[in-house]
Amino acid sequence: MILLFMIATTLLIILVIPYTIWDNKRVKIVNEAIAVEGLPDALQGFKILQVSDLHEKTFGKNQEKLISTINSLDYDLILFTGDMMDGVNSENTAPFFNLIDGINNKQHAYYVAGNTDPANYDIEEGTLVKSHFIQETEKRGVKLLESIEVIEHQGEQLNLLDFELSILKPENGFVVANGRVKPKYSKTEPYIQYHNQLLQEINQMNDEGITIALNHYPVSDPRIDQINKTSYYNFGEYDLIIAGHYHGGQIRLPFLGALFIPEPFYENGGFMPPRNRVKGLWEYRGTKQYVSAGLGSSDAINLLNFRLLNTPEINRITLKKD
């Protein structure tokens, strides 16, 4: 019996290793139709393409496989939800820059930073300026989402918000919200002034159209409860939140699903997370959230810098009437 078990285990490993190598090199397209209450007729069928958690991974020479896949798709808005790089000090920008260089449809293209991306800003001679990484990203047609962007589509309005900024109240002054990486310049006067200016932009937005909040980190149920319990923050009325970060659990097992996600707001620190809170669409307290499993992998756990039974993905969201 022991011999049979050892033989079966060996055969399984022999099969899993080449499959995993092959699976990590391909990209699947995940389509999701999301119902939005009060969606205007003009936004029926509006398509959002999400690219998340690249982590400097390449798909074909100069990203040709990933570029070809994206350029084959029809969409109205493309979002990059962070962790395009694999470290805040990394200079290996080619995987990300080659990708956005090759994408054809960047009429509406936006980026929010993840925890492994370079800082958005630098302080130069006492002045706040966008970092070299952000300047090069925007030069290639992908704009940093700083506060609010209004997208006009066939006479209707779609409001795109930076989630972490949108929960802050201007009257409370400067603060870096829980869950957001605190950059080195976060306590400097130039950044505080600019941050408060961005807060005013969100505070002055009108109520027209639909509102989609963008964030690298998913907003877990405990965090939503925490935000709602304090008068210091303001959890807004979002028609949808779009995020990444979890990698779909990165390592997944049959029947069990994800073993771990990086979510400090869970009591168990993210081990054995709720299976319906790892990737895809969920709803909590009337707010819908869509989380991409992304493309790459991280080495947060040594020797596990790969995806297991978790095919890299890009996501196309189609808005529809509720």
Distance (Å, rounded) from C-alpha 98 to C-alpha 179? 30
Please write the tens of the pLDDT for every residue from 248-257. Answer: 999 999 999 9
pLDDT > 90? residue 133:
yes
The DSSP 8-state label assigned to residue 184 in this structure reads G
Distance (Å, rounded) from C-alpha 145 to C-alpha 79? 10
Q: What pLDDT is attached to residue 208?
A: 87
CATH code for position 250: 3.60.21.10
Number of domains the chain contains: 1
Beta-sheet pairing, 109-111 with 143-144: parallel
Is residue 262 within 8 Å of residue 250, measured between CB atoms?
A: no
Please write the tens of the pLDDT for every residue from 48-69. Answer: 999 999 999 999 999 999 999 9
Q: What pLDDT is attached to residue 250?
A: 95
Domain housing 199: 2-321
**Which sign, positive or negative, has the C-alpha torsion 127, 133, 135, 141?**
negative
Q: What pLDDT is attached to residue 175?
A: 64
What are the backbone dihedrals phi and psi of residue 172, each rounded to the nearest 5 degrees, phi first?
-90, -5
